[in-house]
């Protein structure tokens, strides 16, 4: 029997990526075990999804702390109580301190709604439309000190059509994220994926700077 991999997930909103992970964890002898879901917002719908799946939840509200570091330390205390092998950011809309990121180096993943390194930050769908880009998508990456930086592990693209709106692009990107992110988390849980210095390695092979392109239609 392969060893298990304990996971803690952080979110701030709807948690559709959490739901995709919960669904994947139930399939095909997944070695991942989701121990807890933590949110900085008590009203995040993702917390409801977690409770319905019988997963422990916590709220660490950033407004209760004097500064970013105090918040991050409180967050780390809750996370470390579960001794996770992997921390999953899934729509966690807080910038994390260097202390936090260094503490989880090599075991901290994020999903971002763009083809990194393009469109770091917020409002990616509107910015893609404004720029007239024909291609958009999502990326899963190891988290480092740079905002939306860190080794890219995998990407999935979507075509931008003439009549696309930001809302429609968001839907199409979400649909890709729901396949891409669980796939990457599974690689990690199976011991196939790791951060080697600044680069992501899958099955012992260095991934290219843009990660592995996964075709999802
Ligand atoms: C996802 O689209 C994710 O890529 C994005 O937030 C959304 C969360 O959706 N994350 C970021 O923008 C981080 N920079 P969800 O709550 O339905 O999973």
Cβ of 175 below 6 Å from ligand 1: no
Q: In terms of residue numbers, what domain contains 146?
A: 5-213
Q: Is 194 annotated as a binding residue?
A: no
Q: How far is the CA of 81 from the centre of ligand 1 (A)?
A: 25
Question: Closest ligand 1 atom, CA of 121?
Answer: 14
The CATH number covering residue 54 comes to 3.40.50.170
pLDDT digit string (tens) for the chain, length 217 residues:
678 999 999 999 999 999 999 999 999 889 999 999 999 999 999 999 999 999 999 999 999 999 999 999 999 999 999 999 999 999 999 999 999 999 999 999 999 999 999 999 999 999 999 999 999 999 999 998 888 889 999 999 999 999 999 999 999 999 999 999 999 999 999 999 999 999 999 999 999 999 999 999 8
Residue closest via CA to ligand 1's atom 6 equals 91
Counted domains in the chain: 1
- Please tell me whether the overall predicted TM-score, pTM, comes out greater than 0.75 for this model: yes
Q: In what order do the strands lie in the sheet with 199-202?
A: 193-196, 199-202, 205-206
């Amino acid at each position: 029997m392969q060893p298990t991999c304990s996971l803690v997930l952080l979110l701030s909103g709807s948690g559709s990526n959490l739901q995709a992970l919960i669904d994947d964890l139930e399939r095909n002898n997944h070695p991942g075990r989701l121990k807890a879901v933590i949110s900085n917002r008590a009203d995040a719908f993702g917390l409801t999804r977690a409770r319905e799946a019988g997963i422990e939840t916590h709220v660490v509200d950033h407004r209760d702390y004097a500064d970013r570091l105090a918040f991050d330390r409180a967050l780390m205390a809750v996370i470390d109580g579960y001794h996770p092998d992997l921390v999953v950011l899934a729509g966690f809309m807080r910038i994390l301190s260097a202390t936090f990121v260094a503490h989880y180096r090599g075991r901290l993943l994020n999903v971002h709604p763009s083809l990194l390194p393009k469109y770091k930050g917020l409002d990616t769908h509107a910015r893609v439309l404004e720029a007239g880009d024909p291609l958009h998508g999502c990326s899963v990456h190891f988290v480092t000190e740079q905002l939306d930086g860190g080794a890219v592990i995998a990407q999935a693209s979507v075509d931008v059509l003439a009549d696309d709106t930001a809302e429609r692009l968001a839907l199409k990107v979400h649909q890709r994220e729901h396949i891409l992110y669980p796939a990457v988390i599974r690689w990690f849980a199976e011991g196939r994926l790791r951060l080697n210095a600044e680069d992501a390695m899958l099955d012992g092979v260095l991934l290219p700077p843009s990660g592995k392109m996964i075709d999802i239609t």
